Chains A and B, each alone.
Chain A
Amino acid sequence: MSKNVMAAYEKLRAEAERVLTERSEASKIRIQVGSATCENASGAGEVHEEFRKLIEASGRKDIVLRRTGCTGRCSCEPIVGVIAPGRIPVKYEKVTREKVHDIFTLHVLGGAPVTKMMLDNGLHAVPEMELHLCAGERCGRDQSRRFDALLPEKLAAAGVDASKVRIVSAGCFGLCRSEQSGKVTHMLVRPDNVLYRLADEKDLQEVIEQHLKGGRPVDRLRLKEHTVSKRFFDMYGDVAFFNRQSRIALRNSGIVDPEDLYEYMQYKGFSPLARVLEKNDPQWVIDTVTRSKLRGRGGAGYPTGQKWALAARAAEKTRYIICNADEGDPGAFMDRSMLEGDPFGVVEGMIIGGFAIGAQRGFFYIRAEYPMAIRRIQNAIEQCRKHGLLGQNIFGSGFNFDLEIRLGAGAFVCGEETALIHSIEGRRGEPRIRPPYPTESGLWGKPTVINNVETLVNIPAVIYYGPEWFARLGSERSGGTKVFALAGKVLHTGLVEVPIGTTLRQIVFGIGGGVPGGKRLKAIQTGGPAGGCIPEKLLDTPVDFDTLSRVGAIMGSGGMIIMDEDDCMVDIAKFFLSFSQDESCGKCTPCREGTKRMLEILERITSGQGVPEDLTNLERLAQLIRKASLCGLGRNAPNPILSTLTHYRDEYVAHVTEKRCPAKKCAALVRYEINAEKCVGCSACARNCPVACISGEVRKPYRIDAARCVKCGRCFQVCKFGAVNRS
């Protein structure tokens, strides 16, 4: 049987190769435009169309237009890549229809990259060659630093024109192995895309002489294996935002055409599945996943291998696997990006999971707010069916499995697993008491495994690169990486994937670039409505399931919202609580009534009616709701209040006792006045006031009628002379 599987896989792989060779893209100039919800919102659709027209008009057959998902670099979208044979790929940021013309005529046709439009503006000229030294924690970091320092001199000595070479110290390539820890340095040479493992200076010297100078790669030192993030580095390695990350879950996002099965296969897609089916041993899959220390990425962090083992052990043979693509945390978007950018990766994870637990059917539960993700998954499922990767007798292995999509309908609580099951069954999405856990009695009463999108997309990588490799990437108790969705008051908003155990400082400042506008960081909010706010003084906390809960937040699904001095923590606590209160399904009293009472207290405090007992009442109610609620929504709803009460108590006190909002956010506690000395009488404020409570004569100081002011802040924003005081 096993021979069948490999033969079937090889046949498909050969077909993919043939089709891709026929397209012969590698020898052409490729223009790559992102196609995802975020890219399109930034105007990628127009950009794509404009390039299409220009290529057509040029009549050139050696220029192709490609589509990829997003790379998770939101603040610079739309991003366009120009990849010419034998050259380092060039990426452009914030491309508009006007910029398309420059890029096309100057670069694509003229061969001269338009440096001022390049992503992150980090380069002044595109070098002919680039050397990337791994600066990861695990492999030879010290040696890597030494090489970094030595290289210019060595290059000069060998007669290589140093001005044409750029040396980059990049993050972990994900190649590290325990036996080599501290002993080797990994170096990537672009654009040749050759990756070396160097033991010492002698090796480095050999590469310089033979490859960099002589143009012949050193076979002895060259890594033959296909490495997970090499292709990502090859495309984006020169961009600081990216090269400090380790892209495992996002390995294909922004690289492959998400609608093309053949392209996915080019990057070893479905080879892990073939391996699994060839072995034909579900227990081996479960053991492998267990040894990888992969923990669920949906929030609770339950070990994935253990969860699978529970379902596989059930007496009932009809079983299901569900992909939780409800992504409810308002502020998280990594699941959407993966569904849109690497749908085949998620599907492959599902098939492998289905095999491991002995399921016959699998379901994607996708929120209706993600139409493009739904289309891409639908397309991936159809293509897989067409090529025998879903349906009867997959790859000739005798394994039968199929996938279907079910849509959410805008209820946050449906991300909770028992509610989600009810929703797939076509009922109201109300949670039920656990146990029994879904692995025992889930969908239609059958054993069911529910996994998050990111959990599943990691599975093929775990199988392909091995569990030890994956486990080593993370921390002691938790393997691999985590994708964070960085948003709010941070310079570079976007997706950041780092090894578990990386510090918050590295994420927010090292990669995110810190808070813009010279403002002070006030809080990092993780875990959404179930999470908490982490203050600046805890920036060196490593991100892991246990460490984050110790500081009163949670890992959650990876939403990370940065807040600055203009954000009021009492207001934020109120924001989250009103979210939970709104989304409470109402089934149990502590959650339904408790959150309402807490919200009333917070509303009193922010409107200046607070009394000192309110704070203790909040704490008492919070503990009660935590203990007595039926599901995770209610149990975690008090977290944002408790964490802000712990870390920002002085702000609560200012609201309650001084009737003052330090961030000047709570309207009822803010007053607007015009400073007669600064006012030049331009009348801008009066014209913009929605309730016309500002009066005066042109060129004389204006006045605000405080009794009628609704505190909208418009006057404060429009006054160009700083004459409106807010206190």
Chain B
Amino acid sequence: MSHCACHNTDNREQVEAASRAALSEDILRAIEEARRDPEPGGRLISILHKVQGHFGYLGKEQMDAVAQLLQVPAAEVTGVATFYHFFRLKPGGRYVINICLGTACYVKGGAEVAEKFKEELGIDFGETSKDGMFTLECARCVGTCGLAPVIMINENVHAKVKPDEVPALLARYRDKARQEQA
């Protein structure tokens, strides 16, 4: 496009490079693939899932990068990110504890389990413990209602949890983290 009068101020390449630098390889691949889709915007949510999977949350920088590379308005990316409960806009702990408060779990005492977690960790839903180890969230059914009350720690589902088992459960994950670090 050498005949374009504004080509000297076109910083598209830099912006693209900066955007690429903000994301990881697999995310970039997913974006490449999306661009070939007849409806690239339809891949936005899948890509945001990948971003959260990689970074643990959706940072402003990453969301802007996705908007740039996918060629959708940044406002739309933010709009989507804030609409869906699953997306976290600030960093979470090493382990995200999702306490199911679906009907089956509620009826079987899920609320008491939640209370115990709050008490043990000294935090409320949506908060992260000071050591950065645990984030507490509430879930709407993880699909194992027959084993209620249920909690999910990262991808692991724990069934028939009793409030007095909570301290031991937390200790187990703390140990796990220590081992992984060592």
Chain A contacts to B: CB under 8 angstroms = 37-38, 40-42, 72, 74-75, 77, 327-333, 336, 368-371, 406-412, 423-430, 444, 485-489, 493-495, 525, 528, 559, 561, 563, 567, 572, 575-576, 579, 583, 585, 690, 712
Contact = CB atoms under 8 A, between A and B. Distances in A.
A326 to B, nearest CB: 11
B83 A428 contact: yes
B56 to A, nearest CB: 15
B144 A38 contact: yes
Given A333-B145, A409-B85, A425-B42, 17 more contacts: A37-B157, A38-B146, A38-B159, A329-B141, A330-B141, A369-B152, A370-B143, A371-B155, A407-B45, A407-B49, A425-B39, A426-B42, A426-B44, A427-B79, A429-B84, A493-B148, A559-B145
A512 to B, nearest CB: 11
A331 B145 contact: yes
Contacts of B142: 37, 369
A424 B39 CA distance: 10
Contact of A525 (B87, B103, B144): B103
B174 interface: no
Contacts, number: 154
A493 B150 CA distance: 14
Contact of A487 (B46, B48, B86, B145): B145
Contacts of A429: 83-84
Nearest to A370: B143
Contacts of A412: 140
B102 interface: yes
B140 A37 contact: no
Nearest to A413: B83
Nearest to A334: B143
Given A41-B157, A410-B84, A369 B143 contact: yes
Given A369-B143, A485-B145, A428 B80 contact: yes
A127 to B, nearest CB: 29
Contacts of A333: 141, 143-146
A368 B42 contact: no
Contacts of A42: 147, 159
Contacts of B144: 37-38, 41, 74, 333
Interface string B33-57: 0000001011111101100000000
21 contacts: A37-B144, A37-B157, A40-B157, A41-B150, A41-B156, A41-B158, A327-B141, A328-B140, A333-B144, A368-B86, A410-B84, A410-B140, A424-B42, A426-B39, A426-B80, A444-B39, A487-B107, A488-B103, A561-B103, A561-B145, A572-B107
Contacts of B32: none
A38 B148 CA distance: 10
A593 to B, nearest CB: 19
Interface of B: 39, 41-46, 48-49, 72, 76, 79-80, 83-87, 100-108, 115, 119, 139-148, 150, 152, 155-159
A380 B115 CA distance: 41
A526 B175 CA distance: 42
Interface centre among B79, B100, B104 (most CB of A within 10 A): B104
Interface centre among A369, A423, A583, A712 (most CB of B within 10 A): A369
Contact of A427 (B80, B139, B150): B80
A37 B152 CA distance: 11
Contacts of B148: 487-488, 493
Q: Which 5 A-B pairs have the closest CB atoms?
A: A74-B146, A330-B102, A409-B84, A426-B44, A410-B86
B103 A528 contact: yes
Contacts of A72: 146
B85 A410 contact: yes
B104 A487 contact: yes
A330 B76 CA distance: 29
B84 A411 contact: yes
B107 A74 contact: no
Contacts of A495: 146
A452 to B, nearest CB: 15
B105 to A, nearest CB: 8
B52 to A, nearest CB: 9
Contacts of A408: 84, 86
Contacts of A411: 83-86
A425 B76 CA distance: 12
A575 B158 CA distance: 23
Nearest to B137: A410
Contacts of A38: 143-144, 146-147, 157, 159
Given A409-B86, A425-B41, A428-B79, A37 B107 contact: no
Nearest to A585: B83
A334 to B, nearest CB: 9
Nearest to B41: A426
Interface centre among A410, A576, A583 (most CB of B within 10 A): A410
A368 B50 CA distance: 12
A166 to B, nearest CB: 28
B73 to A, nearest CB: 11
B42 to A, nearest CB: 5
A48 B152 CA distance: 21
Contacts of B147: 38, 41-42, 74-75, 77, 493
Interface centre among A575, A576, A712 (most CB of B within 10 A): A575
Contacts of A575: 103, 106
B107 A567 contact: yes
A471 B128 CA distance: 54
B107 A485 contact: no
Given A42-B159, A328-B140, A332-B145, A488 B104 contact: yes
A265 B156 CA distance: 32
Given A409-B87, A411-B83, A561 B143 contact: no
Contacts of B156: 41
A687 to B, nearest CB: 13
A370 B144 CA distance: 10
B44 to A, nearest CB: 4
Contacts of A493: 104, 145-148
Contacts of A327: 141, 143
Nearest to A564: B107
B158 A331 contact: no
A382 B83 CA distance: 31
A336 B141 CA distance: 11
Contacts of A428: 79-80, 83
B69 to A, nearest CB: 14
Contact of B146 (A75, A407, A444, A563): A75
A202 B139 CA distance: 60
Contact of B104 (A328, A331, A423): A331
Contacts of B106: 575
A370 B86 CA distance: 12
Contacts of B46: 406-407
Contacts of A330: 100-105, 140-141, 145
A331 B86 contact: no
Interface centre among A330, A409, A426 (most CB of B within 10 A): A426
A326 B100 CA distance: 16
A407 B105 CA distance: 24
Contacts of B84: 408-411, 429
A488 B140 contact: no
Nearest to A486: B146
B102 to A, nearest CB: 3
A423 to B, nearest CB: 7
Nearest to A531: B103
A485 B104 CA distance: 10
Interface centre among B39, B141, B152 (most CB of A within 10 A): B141
Contacts of B145: 74, 330-333, 485, 487, 493, 559, 561
A559 B72 CA distance: 39
Contacts of B140: 328, 330, 410, 412, 579, 583
Interface centre among A332, A425, A427 (most CB of B within 10 A): A427
A408 B49 CA distance: 9
